[in-house]
Amino acid sequence: MADRRKKTKIVDSYVTLQAAQRRAQDRPVPTPSEADSAATRPDTSPRKPGTHIGRTVMPTKYEIVCYSCDFMFKITGKAKNTYCPKCRTMLDLADHTITGVCTDELVTAGRVTLSSSAVLDGGRITANDVKLEGTVKSGHLQVHHTLELTEGAVIPEEMIHTRNLKIAAGASISFKRKAVFRDVDVFGEFRANLWAEGLVTVHPGGHLKGKLHASHFTVLEGGGLTADVIVEPKKPQPQTTPSPADKDAHEDKR
Amino acid sequence: MDTSTSAQTIIAAEVEIVGTIKTSGSIQINGTLDGDLQCDGDATIGKDARIKGNLNVNSVVLAGSITGNVTAKDRIQMQSSARVHGDIKAKRLSVEDGVTFIGHSEVNPSGQSSASSAGSAPKQESTESEGKSGLFGKK
């Protein structure tokens, strides 16, 4: 890490702007007489050799799941479309907001927001992320990455097909069936028999109730937990080095 | 070591205690305790500590292994190395990723009783949504 910092010789606009602002805040505006004397005075402050700023503003990375082959990859920054690196399908990354009754088919690798007045009735939505504020009556809702359930969300449990789940602040969601997801973020109230393969995070203001079975679990200060909990991180599998006999057998096969 | 600002009592790693510890101050346990701990102050259970018994404390930082129930008046903080087999009860809780916890938890920082009813479908009342968030934002 330290070596990387030494090698970096980047001063970008963001850092320059920050430095200028800091300088402006720190120094009082000099009077004309002070300014004149400062101009004649030689700069005696030692200059630090090799002082470089190794910080750049990196564009955000987004996780995209191909709706054709389910391959997950990351893209940097915003784009209108991209190709799946695995199956070469061109993926539409456009975001959509639905405000009325949806009976059509919508396929995107972007984000779909079903607003509070939206009703999915017989339509078919496939998206990377879905924010549900409205109602899902019938049809098909396939979420490849994260489904966010907000305060007004109404959706039958059996219609939830998502990898990750987010319970928004203010929402109060109850699941009767066993709920299986990868990552779960709880900002609101969530009552479920939850089985998570990834990380469950209870954020400040969030409350998880019911049963929890996960390997990774985090409660941030201010989060609530009223549940029967089984949290056991999976132990890493010991790497078995092949014995000399195995190696010989392998070579013989070749 | 200056213990005036941290724990008043320290049970070192090589110490094993069988019985109940009662203290009005704060305590740090790095050794083994086969019994209960009743502490009016703050308790710190070190990484190598092993406790078989119940903890009744004001607040506790857990990094070691505990087989028993933990009750805190204020706060339970579980660090990533913590292994808890038992029930926990506190006003506030923070859990780091990596903990092993098997038991029942009762932590409600808001102090409100649950008003939600279990239904087959997620349901809710009001329509006002929270702030826009997400990967791409709205179009």
Report the 10 Å Cβ neighbour count for A132.
28
> Would you give the end-to-end CA distance of chain B in angstroms?
59
Q: What is the pLDDT of residue A60?
A: 80
Angle CA A131–A132–A138, to nearest 5: 130
Q: What is the pLDDT of residue A53?
A: 62
% chain A with pLDDT above 90? 45
Residue B118 lies in a domain: no
Reported as a pLDDT band with limits 50, 70 and 90, residue A37 is low
Q: What is the pLDDT of residue B127?
A: 34
- Burial of B84 (C-beta count, 10 Å sphere; 0-12/13-18/19+): buried
- Judged by CB atoms within 8 Å, which residues 132-161 of A form the interface with B? 133, 148-157
> Distance between CA atoms of B37 and A23, rounded to whole angstroms?
55
For B51-84, what is each residue's pLDDT tens digit? 999 999 999 999 999 999 999 999 999 999 999 9
Structure-block tokens of residue A40: 């004649």
B126 neighbourhood in chain A, CB within 8 Å: 151-152, 170
Structure-block tokens of residue A247: 């190696």
Residue B122 lies in a domain: no
Residue B56 lies in a domain: yes
* Distance between A209 CA and the closest CA of chain B, angstroms: 9
Residue B89 lies in a domain: yes
> Distance between CA atoms of B43 and B30, rounded to whole angstroms?
11
Residue B29 lies in a domain: yes
Residue B120 lies in a domain: no
Give the residue-averaged pLDDT of B8-16.
92
Q: What is the pLDDT of residue A1?
A: 46
- Among A114, A113, A69, smallest CA distance to A87 is for A69
> Distance between CA atoms of A34 and A181, rounded to whole angstroms?
66
Compute the CA torsion angle A154, A157, A159, A164 (nearest 10 deg).
90
Whether the Cβ atoms of residue A158 and residue A180 lie closer than 8 Å to each other:
no
A126: contact with B, CB 8 A cutoff: no
Q: What is the pLDDT of residue A236?
A: 62
Residue B22 lies in a domain: yes
Nearest to B136 among A78, A154, A232 (CB): A78
Q: What is the pLDDT of residue B61?
A: 96
% chain B with pLDDT above 70? 74
% chain B with pLDDT above 90? 71
B137: contact with A, CB 8 A cutoff: yes
Q: Domain containing B76: what range? A: 8-110
Whether the Cβ atoms of residue B38 and residue B24 lie closer than 8 Å to each other:
no
Reported as a pLDDT band with limits 50, 70 and 90, residue B117 is very low
Q: What is the pLDDT of residue A188?
A: 94
Top pLDDT among A95 and B119 is at A95
Whether the Cβ atoms of residue A140 and residue A158 lie closer than 8 Å to each other:
no
Pick the residue from chain B with its C-alpha nearest to A128: B135
Report yes or no for ipTM above 0.85: no
Does the beta-carbon distance from B102 to A230 stay under 8 Å?
yes
Paired sense of beta strands A61-65 and A72-76, if any: antiparallel
> Would you give the end-to-end CA distance of chain A in angstroms?
42
Amino acid at B4: S
A172 neighbourhood in chain B, CB within 8 Å: 115-116, 124
B138: contact with A, CB 8 A cutoff: yes
SS3 state of residue A182:
coil
Average predicted confidence (pLDDT) for chain A:
82
Number of domains in chain B: 1
Q: What is the pLDDT of residue B7?
A: 60
Reported as a pLDDT band with limits 50, 70 and 90, residue A61 is confident
- Residue A182 pLDDT exceeds 80: yes
Q: What is the pLDDT of residue A41?
A: 58
Q: What is the DSSP string of B5-73?
A: SS-SEEE-TT-EEES-EEESS-EEE-SEEES-EEESSEEEE-TT-EEES-EEEEEEEE-SEEES-EEEE
Reported as a pLDDT band with limits 50, 70 and 90, residue A169 is very high
Reported as a pLDDT band with limits 50, 70 and 90, residue A67 is confident
Top pLDDT among A2 and A144 is at A144
Nearest to B116 among A152, A189, A205 (CB): A189
Whether the Cβ atoms of residue B42 and residue B29 lie closer than 8 Å to each other:
no
Nearest to A223 among B93, B96, B119 (CB): B93
pTM of the model: 0.72
Q: What is the pLDDT of residue A59?
A: 76
Per mean pLDDT, which range of A4-8, A177-181, B61-65 is the poorest? A4-8
Reported as a pLDDT band with limits 50, 70 and 90, residue A218 is very high
- Residue B3 pLDDT exceeds 50: no
- Burial of A61 (C-beta count, 10 Å sphere; 0-12/13-18/19+): exposed
- Residue A91 pLDDT exceeds 50: yes
Residue B83 lies in a domain: yes
